[in-house]
Amino acid sequence: MGDAINAMSDAFRSLSDNTAIVPSRINLPIEDQNALHLSMPAYVKGGKYIMIKLVNVHYDNPRNDLPLINGIILLMDSINGVPLAFMDGKSITALRTGASSGLATKILSNQNSKSAVVIGAGVQALSQIEAIRNVRELDSIKVIGRNMNKVEELCSKFDSLVKPGINDSLKDADIICTATTSKVPLFNYEDIKSGVHINAVGAHQSNTRELDTKLIQKAKVYIDHLDPSKNEAGDILIPISEGIYSWENIQGELGELIEGKIKGRTSDLDITVFNSIGNAVQDLAIASLIIEKKGKE
């Protein structure tokens, strides 16, 4: 996870300095199956690899004990175009999403953060826990989910620091991670305390959201990449559609923050939000890291 978090720093920097070439992903609704297909290519100028990720999101799968996300990544040589590897898209998606939250938590959360809440109990939630524990010495992580059996199963994969929680746990949280398929806000602004950092990674369609409008208005909001966010970041687009928010209100991209072009947290009382819809350059960074490590074995 530590290596993955470092790789995310390079990935977000490449987005903000325009060395990443990431066309808009193809979003194919499969409404009769309550599903969504995404096709996502990426390349970084001067890089060794070209990547495309094909992902299927089937929203009914979890209730049938199947993975929400399935997919595959094809990595190719950028010089001669030769295919080099197929990789499991599901695991890389979880790893890069968790690592991105880990990076955002490292640079935006209060350094003395001790308690966290993770909303969601799937594979994405697992990597969120791994990532935030990598960058902060936490005393408590509470997991909230609709299915208590899944919540307990997730908690059992960690030590006793990770336990099931309830909505009331939010009021004490220094860090909150949301990794769900919810189409409506998971909690209200009044449910959280000043100074909290939030990683919102579950919503990636224009009409879905995990955070409420008042929270977006009150927080310092950072995103992964501006152009696709303007089409897919429902957490921001819905408040804009309500006429009470605008893109000028966001702080900027995480890569701009890494490069020192914009400010981060300036007070222990700031509420900070990293709103991520996911970007193919993140997958490219992890896939590149994996193949490089394999080459050294």
Q: Is residue 265 within 8 Å of residue 220, measured between CB atoms?
A: yes
53 in catalytic set? yes
- Integer Cα distance of 65 and 225 in angstroms: 33
As given in the structure block, the two tokens for residue 154 are 């997730």
CB burial string 123-144: b at 16+ within 10 A, e below: bbbbbbbbbbbbbbebebbbbb
* Residues facing 104 on adjacent strands: none
Catalytic member of 45, 53, 90, 294:
53
- Integer Cα distance of 257 and 218 in angstroms: 19
Helix (H, G, I), strand (E, B) or coil at 58: strand
- Integer Cα distance of 125 and 210 in angstroms: 14
- Integer Cα distance of 223 and 250 in angstroms: 8
DSSP state at residue 33: G
Instruction: Please give the positions annotated as active site.
Output: 53
